[in-house]
């Protein structure tokens, strides 16, 4: 009886050992000069962050730095905390972080800062006192306004509009929605009416379900604005399946690669995004300069970000200090084939 039990234990332990060995080999050893930068996305399971990381790696190559790209598999601030602590323990020089929970990561970022790690946030900002500079993709006001503009362009400026967002707690989603509402309140949009804000939780299935619910609940719906790359793709697929692409216009923020086939099928004629690779590239130049002591977050400081040119530390959307990448790009059937991310 005991022999059998020991045999079982042996088999389990053996299997575990093999797995561990494989992982040990894959982890490998890394030696390099330059700064060590930890690039921490909200989650590694959303493709835009991979694009940010590719840009970050390109910048690091130019600067002679090393990028480690890793993060949790759920969109969760608390799940980012062990990554922050781990980066600090490993003696990283800088952390570039995008978070969904600005306050939950703050204590850990302060612990890291106390060990000399420089912190730059991008995309999803942290609590201001836990980072040196925030790198914004654009101005929130411009993002909100331009999405309403796109919706208006596609619907001849009239009819019912719905918003398909990510989670109700996502700070940048909520800011953009706030500016969309402000924009829609302007007299020139008086014939457009916001009927519903739905939340797809940045989950393809849930987003498709919410799209379906919108289509059913609002028979006169003319446009859906989805300011999330996960949401817009799911919505495009759902609208295509239901054959509603002509009736309901889809706009928002999406990745050209995700949306290409829906654009070709006439299911999204105008949507946009900033250049995600350039975004990661810029954030890496910013953290490099912060580590080097050239940027301290004082307003008016400037930096040269390689091929992107010169940027200034400013106040943006009432937030400071911020470095802004620029206005969003609009993708249309005419230009979509120029972008591959």
Partner 1 sequence: MTAARAIALRLLARWETLLVVAIVGAGIWSTTLSPFFLKRANLLDLVTPYIFIGLMAFGLTFVVVAGEIDISIVSNMAVSVVCFAQVFDAGVNVWLAALIGLVVATVLGLVNGALVSVLDLPSLAITLGTMAAYAGLAYVILSGEGVASFPSGYTKIGGGYIAGNELPIALPVILAVAVVLGIVLHATRFGRYVFTIGSNREAARFSGIPVMRVRMAVFAASGLMAGLAGVVYVGYFGSARADAGTGSLLDVVTAVVLGGVDIFGGAGSMLGVFLALVLVAELRNGMQLANIQGDTQDIVIGGLLLAAIVAGNLVRRAQTGRFRVRPLRLGRKEVIAHDAADALMPSKLAPQNLKGR
Of 53, 56, 65, 79, the residue at the interface with partner 1 (CB under 8 A) is 79
Per DSSP, helices labelled H in the chain are 2-27, 47-63, 77-89, 106-114, 140-154, 171-184, 204-217, 229-242, 256-264, 276-291
Of 73, 219, 293, 298, the residue at the interface with partner 1 (CB under 8 A) is 73
Residue 338 interacting with partner 1 (CB under 8 A): no
Of 34, 50, 54, 86, the residue at the interface with partner 1 (CB under 8 A) is 86
The pair phi, psi for residue 205, each rounded to 5°, is: -65, -45
Of 157, 174, 319, 332, the residue at the interface with partner 1 (CB under 8 A) is 174
Closest to partner 1 by CB, 71 or 159: 71
Burial label, 127 (beta-carbon count in 10 A; 0-12, 13-18, 19+): middle
Supply the minimum distance, in Å, between the C-beta of residue 75 and partner 1: 8
Contact 290, 321 (CB under 8 A): no
Residue 240 interacting with partner 1 (CB under 8 A): no
Neighbours of 150 (CB within 10 A): 23
Among the listed ranges 165-173, 184-192, 246-254, 260-268, the one in contact with partner 1 (CB under 8 A) is 165-173
Of 18, 61, 64, 70, the residue at the interface with partner 1 (CB under 8 A) is 70
Give residue for tokens 């105008």.
Answer: 270
Interface characters, 106-125, with partner 1 (x: CB under 8 A): xx------------------
Site size for partner 1 (CB under 8 A): 52
Residue 14, SS3?
Answer: helix
Residue 167 interacting with partner 1 (CB under 8 A): yes
Closest to partner 1 by CB, 130 or 138: 130
Cα–Cα distance measured from residue 87 to residue 81, given in angstroms and rounded to the nearest whole number: 10
Extract the tokens encoding 255: 């990745």
Residue 127 interacting with partner 1 (CB under 8 A): yes
Residue 213 interacting with partner 1 (CB under 8 A): no
302-304 vs 310-312, strand pairing mode: antiparallel
Of 19, 32, 191, 296, the residue at the interface with partner 1 (CB under 8 A) is 19
Rg of the chain over all Cα atoms, to the nearest angstrom: 22
Residue 76 interacting with partner 1 (CB under 8 A): yes
Cα–Cα distance measured from residue 179 to residue 164, given in angstroms and rounded to the nearest whole number: 15
Supply the minimum distance, in Å, between the C-beta of residue 156 and partner 1: 34
Contact 128, 171 (CB under 8 A): no
Cα–Cα distance measured from residue 64 to residue 8, given in angstroms and rounded to the nearest whole number: 50
- Give the footprint of partner 1 on this chain (CB under 8 A): 1-2, 4-6, 8-9, 12-13, 15-17, 19-20, 23-24, 26-27, 43-45, 68, 70-79, 81-83, 85-86, 89-91, 101-104, 106-107, 127, 167-169, 171, 174
């Amino acid at each position: 009886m005991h022999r059998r039990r020991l045999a079982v234990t042996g088999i389990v332990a053996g299997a575990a050992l093999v797995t561990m060995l494989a992982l040990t080999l894959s982890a490998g050893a890394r030696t390099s000069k330059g700064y060590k930068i930890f690039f921490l996305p909200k989650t590694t399971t959303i493709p835009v962050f991979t694009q940010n990381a590719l840009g970050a790696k390109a910048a690091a190559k130019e600067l002679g730095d090393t990028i480690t790209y890793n993060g949790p598999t759920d969109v969760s601030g608390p799940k980012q905390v062990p990554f922050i602590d781990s980066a600090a323990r490993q003696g990283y020089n800088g952390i570039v972080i995008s978070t969904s929970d600005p306050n939950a990561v703050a204590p850990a970022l302060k612990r890291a800062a106390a060990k000399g790690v420089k912190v730059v946030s991008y995309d999803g900002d942290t609590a201001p006192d836990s980072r040196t500079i925030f790198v914004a993709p654009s101005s929130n006001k411009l993002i909100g306004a331009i999405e309403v503009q796109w919706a208006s362009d596609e619907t001849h400026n009239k009819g019912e509009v719905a918003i398909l967002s990510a989670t109700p707690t996502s700070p940048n989603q909520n800011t953009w929605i706030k500016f969309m509402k402000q924009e829609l309140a302007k007299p020139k949009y008086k014939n457009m009416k916001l009927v519903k804000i739905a939340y797809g939780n940045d989950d393809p299935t849930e987003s498709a379900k919410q799209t379906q619910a919108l289509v059913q609940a609002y028979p006169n719906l003319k446009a859906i604005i989805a300011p999330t790359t996960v949401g817009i793709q799911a919505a495009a697929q759902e609208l295509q399946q239901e054959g509603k692409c002509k009736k309901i216009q889809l706009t928002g923020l999406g990745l050209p690669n995700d949306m290409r086939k829906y654009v070709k099928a006439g299911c999204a004629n105008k949507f946009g995004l900033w250049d995600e690779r350039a975004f990661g590239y810029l954030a890496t130049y910013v953290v490099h300069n912060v580590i080097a002591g050239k940027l301290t977050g004082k307003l008016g400081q400037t930096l040269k970000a390689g091929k992107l040119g010169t940027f200034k530390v400013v106040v943006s959307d009432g937030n400071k200090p911020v470095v802004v990448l620029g206005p969003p790009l609009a993708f249309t059937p005419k230009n979509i084939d120029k972008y591959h991310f």
